[in-house]
Structure formats: C-alpha cells, structure tokens
Amino acid sequence: MARIITIANQKGGVGKSTTAACMTAGLIHLGQTALCVDADPQGNLSHAFGADVSCKGLYEGLTKEVTAADLIQTTPQGDIIPSTNQNLVGVDNEFRGQITLLEELLHPIGQNYQYLVIDTPPSLGILMINALFASNDIIIPTNADVFSMQGLNQLYHSIDMLKKHKPYLRVSGVILTRYNAYTTFSRHARQALENRTDTYVYKTSIRESITVREAQAKRQSLFAYAPRAGVSKDYLNFIKEYLSNA
C-alpha cells in the first residue's frame, strides 16, 4: 500500500504547494510511483500541474459521487487528483466531524502507487484534519521567521489529538523553505527548531529562488525546467533525506 505524506502548515506562504509538487515530481524522478492530491480549495497545485479544472475533482470524491480512480488526471509532472470545485470552500460545515472521508477515498488506489502526497489549505479546518488523519507521515514546511513558526505548537497539538485515534501517525520532519544561510536570524531560527524535543529538522534547507515561480508559470516540474538549479538540488536532496529516514 502507498505511504501517504501530508504537507501541512496552517500558515500560508511557506511553500506547501511547491513542496507537494516537488515531492511528487522528485519521487517520480527517483524511480518511485507517486500521486499528488490537491486538498487546498485555492487549487494552486492543480493549476501548476496543468490539470483540467473543468472536470470533477476532490469535492466529488469526498461526497462519494465518484471514486478516486475516476478523478486521477495524468500530467507531464505526474498524476494528480485536482481541486476543481469551489464547494471545497464550504466543507467545514458540510463535513463537520467527518475526519475519515479522505482516507476512505484514497484507500482503494493505495495499491497503485508507492506514495500519495497531499497538499493542504493554510488552516486547521476539516480538509486539513482529513489529510492529517489519512497520513502515515507529515512534513511541515516553514520559513525561517517568527510568524511562520509560531503556529507549530497548534499544529502539533492537533496532530497529538489525532494520534489518540491513529497512534502510528508521525511528523517526519520540518523543512525550512526560502532559507538564507547567510543571515543570523535564519541560523537562529534553525537552531530554535532543532532545540525542540518533538521536532526533527531536515538537514537540507530549500533556498529562495525565482526558478520555482518560473517553473510553476510554465507548468513544468522544477526538475524538468531547471535540473541543475540550486533549488532543484535542494529539493532532490530533501527527498533523498526523507526516503533514508522513512
């Protein structure tokens, strides 16, 4: 069965969608089979993948109108279940208390892939909770700044609550994104994270680079668009580090 990885942080602008896209494309680049699931109503990942957003998407899967297999789109970057329906915006009320919907949707296709990678919205709503509950591993991208890291305690609290129902759920690590090793603050932020007893901080950090936005604009994977770029090497090294610790 597939190992399910959720990319999560309730803070926006920390590189969740970019990390999810690069995780999926990078796993495929390394010879693994992977599917990306866009659980963010904004649909940025679906757009970057070049998915057809006029088709049915994750919402119809969560309401059991269609199966996960019916939703999979194959793109040059990899397979994706897209976010195509604005009804996802209102699911906190519609799906209140239902935390297993995504797990139930994805289970039948788990045998078809080695990894499923879930992108999440920047909030601790029902979509985030469903994604966390469906996971084997949680990866938390964060910028090296105070505001990005302040929400970690709340996220860890939510994960600890879910562990009561799913004990093997784990945070595999925190990945620092848009990182500048030359600034004192960035180095201090890394040290502060490493001093947390509940947190593994990936040794690989992701540098700030315009190349990421260029690849997204062209709807290409980072590894196809700029395989020799520093940020591409960062993401590939991060994925290798994840695989060595999985």
| Residue 84 and residue 53 in contact, taking contact as beta carbons nearer than 8 Å | yes
- Residue 21's pLDDT is 96
CATH number of the domain enclosing 98: 3.40.50.300
- pLDDT digits over 107-151, tens only? 999 999 999 999 999 989 999 999 999 999 999 999 877 777 777
- Residue 137's pLDDT is 95
Q: What is the mean pLDDT of residues 166-177?
A: 91
**CA–CA dist 129, 131 (Å, integer):** 5
Q: Is residue 232 predicted with pLDDT exceeding 80? A: yes
Orientation of helix 16-29 relative to helix 230-245, angle to 10° = 80
- Residue 197's pLDDT is 66
Note down the domain range covering 178. 3-245
Give 238 or 181, the one with higher predicted confidence. 238
Q: Which of 85-89, 117-121, 132-136, 188-192 has the lowest mean pLDDT?
A: 85-89
- pLDDT digits over 9-37, tens only? 988 889 999 999 999 999 999 999 999 99
Residues 6 or more apart from 11 whose CB is under 8 A from it?
Answer: 122, 142, 147, 148, 150, 151
What's the number of domains the chain is made of?
Answer: 1
Cα distance between the two ends of the chain: 14
